[in-house]
Structure 1
Amino acid sequence: MLLRLPTSVSEAQQCLSEGAIPVGGATLQWAVWQRDGFPEQAMSLREVPEANVLSAEALGAAVPLHRVDDRVPEVLRRAAGGIGTGAVRRSATVGGNIVGSTLRCLLPAAVVLDARAVVLDVEGPFETDLAELTAKRPLLLSLRWRTPQASGYRKLAEAPGGPPPLVVATAVHAPEGARPRLRIAVRDGYEVLAESVECDTGVASVLDALAGTAIGALPAEAREVVREQVTELLARTAA
């Protein structure tokens, strides 16, 4: 297998047009290739600057999970820090987790940040939403968002051999000239539920509003975690 290392978006676009298969840290893909056979050529974005951005409002797809630090919002940093072991986080990448993994542990955090995806195909780079990103799985270059007022994240302990652990991600956005809104995403099994409600009317009103959505139909344990996370986050934003 030939591994190609483009150094620009245009070179990466050329690699795609010539049939190179995108690969990040290959923590998941390697086992599949060993079973099904290796492609003739693969491509890594680790030398492409646009895929290595790490700032307050952008995160590149080629960034290894262990490098995701306090430059990004708390919800995204904590999500990345809770994935796998230290060895896995040193190899696995942001793009591989969101596009290549079935668990997509970073997805709830990206959802509550209202992130947009910059992706690449043979026609060139373009921006899309997370729904299209996860449905069509194009080559991700980076995620971009606007800094929230505050954010939070909780992941329950994982039972060995059991289903994926419950994840609750939250963020409060307060754009100028608009009422603040709480965005919440819950990963229950392999499904991610997302809701958004105005949050300047008090914790009880916010929880009542969420009870009338799909979040309110979650199992009791999950609803309790939601209640705790929403209460804690709104207390922080009020302070």
Structure 2
Amino acid sequence: MQLRLPTTLSEAQRYLAEGAVPVGGASLVWALWQRDGFPEQAMSLRQLPEANLIEREALGAAVLLHQVDDRVPDVLRGAASTVGTGAVRRTATVGGNIVGSTLRCLLPAALVLNARATVLDRDGSYETDLAEVVAKRPLLLGLRWRDPVVSGYHKADAEAGGPPPLVVATAVHAEGDGRHRLFVAVRDGYEVTSETTPCDTGAEQVLEALFRTALGSLPVPAREAIRKEVTGILDRLDGR
């Protein structure tokens, strides 16, 4: 297997056209390749500048999970810090987690940030939404978002090897008219549900509005976690 290490977008685009298979951190594909056979060409973005950004409003797909720090919002840092073990976080990448993983631990955090994805195909790079990233699994270059006012992340305790733990991600964004909007994303099992509502009323009114959406059909433990996380983040908003 030949490993391609592009340093420019044009190189990465050319390698894709030649059939190179993206590897991310290889933490997910290596076992499959050992079982099914290795591709002729693979491609890592670890030397591509656009895929290695760590900024307050941007995160590259080639960034290793253990590198996600306080330069990004709390919700994204919390998500990255709870993926697998320390050894996994030192090899797994942002792009591999969102595009290649069935759990997609970073997806709820990206959804509440209202993030947009930059992806690359044989015709070049373009911006798209996370729904397309999940459905089509393109080569992810990175994420961009608008910095939230406050954000938070909750992951329930779970036994290793058991069902995926419940995740509740929250973020409050300032709107142009001075008001605020709450985004909530929940991973229950393998399914992720996200909703949004204005949040300048009291916590109970905000929760009533959320539970009139698809979030209201989630199991009781998920709704209880939503209630706790939403109440907490609105308290933090009031304290600013």
Please state which band the TM-score falls in when normalised by the shorter chain.
over 0.9
TM-superposed CA distance for 1:175, in Å, is 2.3
CA RMSD of aligned residues (A): 0.8
| 1:106 matched to 2:106 | yes
Partner letter of residue 111 of structure 2? V
Q: How does 1:117-128 map to 2 (within 5 A)?
A: 117-128=117-128
Partners of 1:178 and 1:55 lie apart in 2 by 25
2:174 aligned residue: 174
Partners of 2:214 and 2:6 lie apart in 1 by 43
Q: How many residues were matched structurally?
A: 239
In the TM superposition, structure 1's runs of 4+ consecutive aligned residues that sit over 6 Å from their partners are: none
Partners of 1:142 and 1:67 lie apart in 2 by 14
TM-superposed CA distance for 1:157, in Å, is 1.0
Q: How does 1:1-239 map to 2 (within 5 A)?
A: 1-177=1-177, 179-239=179-239
TM-superposed CA distance for 1:178, in Å, is 5.1
TM-superposed CA distance for 1:38, in Å, is 0.4
Task: Using structure 2 for the length normalisation, give the TM-score.
Answer: 0.98
Partners of 1:2 and 1:104 lie apart in 2 by 28
Partners of 1:59 and 1:79 lie apart in 2 by 13
Task: Using structure 1 for the length normalisation, give the TM-score.
Answer: 0.99
Partner letter of residue 60 of structure 2? G
Deviation string 1:4-37 (CA, Å, 9 cap, x unpaired) is 1011111000100100000111111001111111
Partners of 1:238 and 1:168 lie apart in 2 by 20
TM-superposed CA distance for 1:162, in Å, is 2.0
Query: Gaps spanning 5+ residues in structure 1: where?
Result: none
Partners of 1:132 and 1:106 lie apart in 2 by 16
Partners of 1:48 and 1:160 lie apart in 2 by 34
Partners of 1:215 and 1:163 lie apart in 2 by 20
Bigger mean CA offset, 85-94 vs 160-169: 160-169
Partner letter of residue 147 of structure 1? D
Partners of 2:211 and 2:53 lie apart in 1 by 38
SS for the counterpart of 2:207 is helix
SS for the counterpart of 2:186 is strand
Deviation string 1:45-64 (CA, Å, 9 cap, x unpaired) is 00000000000000000000
Partner letter of residue 69 of structure 2? D
Partners of 2:153 and 2:35 lie apart in 1 by 36
Partner letter of residue 193 of structure 1? T
TM-superposed CA distance for 1:115, in Å, is 0.1
